[in-house]
Amino acid sequence: MNNKSCCQNVNKCIECTVTQCKYHNNTENYCTLDKIQVGTHEKDPKMPSCTDCNSFVLK
Ligand code: SF4
């Protein structure tokens, strides 16, 4: 595939605003990984803030 117009392999299926992550695209709010793992740090998650991206790696 030849899709290098703007950004390094952004995954348009994974929107993300965590700019501190090394997998965040710097110019658009997308992840660059093919897939991510989402988990929770709560016993009984009830809202978005209860969930985590476990694929996060600090830049
Ligand atoms: S790995 Fe998770 S936190 Fe990092 S850019 Fe992708 S979706 Fe965002």
Residue 4 reports pLDDT greater than 60: no
25 within some domain: yes
Please tell me the predicted confidence (pLDDT) of residue 39: 98
44 within some domain: yes
pLDDT-derived band at 8 (thresholds 50, 70, 90) equals low
Q: How many domains is the chain built from?
A: 1
47 within some domain: yes
d(CA 23, CA 10): 9
The percent of the chain in helix, strand and coil, each rounded to the nearest 5, is 5, 25, 70
2 within some domain: no
pTM of the model: 0.84
17 within some domain: yes
Pocket test for ligand 1, best of 9, 21, 28, 32 (most atoms within 8 A of CB): 21
CB-based contacts of 52, cutoff 8 Å, min separation 6: 38, 39, 40, 41
Residue 6 reports pLDDT greater than 60: no
Q: What's the CA-to-centroid distance between 41 and ligand 1, angstroms?
A: 16
- Return the ligand 1 atom nearest residue 17 CA: 8
d(CA 28, CA 37): 20
- Return the ligand 1 atom nearest residue 25 CA: 5
59 within some domain: no
Segments forming the whole domain that contains residue 41: 11-53
Looking at residues 21-39, what average pLDDT do you find? 96
